Chains A and B, each alone.
Chain A
């Protein structure tokens, strides 16, 4: 069915970047998920008297300007950042991939139309429209997800279409067509499984970009809203304390960098593992 090499242990060893990236991403993800069930201190409880403490056995990373435990904030913030980015990726992939496949399968006016929609979405300055969307529907993490997600659609559509077009000329697809399969059936049974890896690579990269986009929206006050927190919101809140208490900005800032690097390493490693034929499709390049 698939003409991709199965990821083997040997391959893993050959790709240290994938190993490092994947493990680090999973660690952060795990930290985020733990925060659903448990954090050292609840972040809704404010104790101004204990503000801006240095790291101590009670507070491993110290406390922030409202006396909240920084470790708990980072855990909750990591979760929010991941969830926002992941849902944005899901929106992009669930709508973009079928669109891309449809464009490749049908061609003609349908393809033209889908490509126009794609161009159209690419043409809007994403962040500005995200600002507009969050202003219309009110600033919140959910609206941030939708805003970021919409601009993931053309990215996935492009990758899916590119992958599908190159597979279309392959023999087994031609055989399936001769066997009387319709374009949708071919797309589902032969093309989708083969471009799945491309899409996963793209998803990893969009996940990293989504975390940065959430940070940007939070910076202008339209992302995650208190009392919830995200890494971007923490970074934004810490800006005014940059000289007074640099650790407040350094901790979330470095966490964002680590997560994004980890995800990108994982994505790069995955792409390097792909069949060279698929690699040349250059899916990930739409990620800029």
Chain B
């Protein structure tokens, strides 16, 4: 009897599948590697926050599209004053927050006031420090004045850190996010999954999906199994090492794109022997990028020669600055008074590209006599030891922030790189708004970093997603952190 019931239920389930096949599905289950600690993108740096809410639940005045270009969002258009110091945003009309309150200029003023306040806990507070004032001209117009020209201002306005929140709900956004986006937050089963549903009152184009569930799966092998068993429909970014299984399976498609993550062998430039240019050059000559990419990232990723993403229009290929050449490396080491090499520690954060990459780098540098002791740290220890206290020789890390070449101009940054020439280039860049002139300066900056071999420039991190073959409209590249749902739809 029980068996017959089970068989009947199974047959019923099969027939439901048949019906579902007739009309395209409108629900989606996405796997996420890490669960967001909270859901307020203006009060935390975790990428998982943006992966759930950016452009889905929350929107900014502008938004970043798949190519990394700035597009209108809650501001339908804007005017920039001739001196580049004043931006006037014209807001869309009819937009509402998910709790039903209307969106207007006061929300914008509130949002920016919150970001720039003295007690602000915004993770990218420094990006908005140049804002002088934010004024509501009328209900649908906002004027933002800057202290100095900022070529990246409109991009920064479009980041997850500057999404518009309402004074009525902002305090609770960590657990019940209320934004203006096409999807509203429904439920968060902590530790398991999080559900969004289409927001009926959305001001813009309605997305194809009506219900989206994010499933948090930390274990790489468990993610593979979840996809194969059909309990999730796709993963935005997963271990490259697991991709071959899906490439061979017609039920899936593998989507490989670029990110803003420059993966570096970071050298403590303030500390001997890495303060010696010849040592840094020797290390650069000893790194075989092709092998590192093959081993640490299963072959996905583009070699880089400086701190700049290859898909950028201002990119220049500098991978040939110090080509793989062990003899040259040994000669430079001898000139630097380390004919037999030296010993150093390599402190690694807990991400596969670093733990595996560290083994490969250690194996490669051993060939010229540089003996590395690998120390594996958890994220907190890495942040404390390496990033905050600068107590390290070498580390491997991917810098995923877009347009972050400016970090090299800060002598207090953990790179310990203090170069007046580079700082001058950056200062000039920040004051330049002319596109052609900016390009020239950016190229000069990339070249300076490559020649100085500040860090070992390894590869641009790839975004390796796996999705059901019947899904369309996913972003291939990741110019910003996020999984933008509005374009995703089922084909059958």
Contact = CB atoms under 8 A, between A and B. Distances in A.
Nearest to B356: A66
A45 B241 contact: no
Contact of A242 (B221, B295, B374, B381): B221
A241 B378 CA distance: 24
A46 B363 contact: yes
B369 to A, nearest CB: 14
User: Interface size bucket, B side?
Assistant: 20 to 34
B241 A241 contact: yes
Contacts of A45: 363, 366
B95 interface: no
B374 A226 contact: yes
B107 interface: no
Contacts of B239: 240
Given A49-B291, A138-B381, A139-B376, A227 B359 contact: yes
B250 interface: no
B294 interface: yes
A243 B381 contact: no
A48 B294 contact: yes
Given A48-B360, A66-B360, A243 B241 contact: no
Interface string B136-165: 000000000000000000000000000000
B255 interface: no
B133 to A, nearest CB: 46
Contacts of B244: 244
A139 B374 CA distance: 12
B371 to A, nearest CB: 10
Nearest to A134: B378
A221 B350 contact: yes
Contact of A239 (B220, B245, B355, B362): B220
Interface in A48-96: 48-49, 51, 65-66
Interface string A103-136: 0000000000000000000000000000000010
Contacts of B445: none
A69 to B, nearest CB: 14
Contacts of A48: 291, 294-295, 360
A46 B360 contact: yes
A241 B244 CA distance: 9
A225 interface: yes
Contact of B242 (A51, A139, A226, A240): A240
A139 B348 CA distance: 12
Contacts of A185: none
Interface of B: 219-221, 224, 228, 239, 241-242, 244-245, 291, 294-295, 350, 355-356, 358-360, 362-363, 366, 374-378, 381
19 contacts: A44-B359, A44-B363, A45-B363, A48-B291, A48-B294, A49-B291, A49-B294, A138-B375, A138-B381, A225-B376, A226-B356, A226-B359, A227-B362, A227-B374, A240-B239, A240-B241, A240-B242, A241-B241, A243-B228
The 9 closest A-B pairs by CB, nearest first: A239-B221, A48-B295, A46-B363, A48-B294, A225-B376, A240-B220, A240-B221, A243-B245, A48-B291
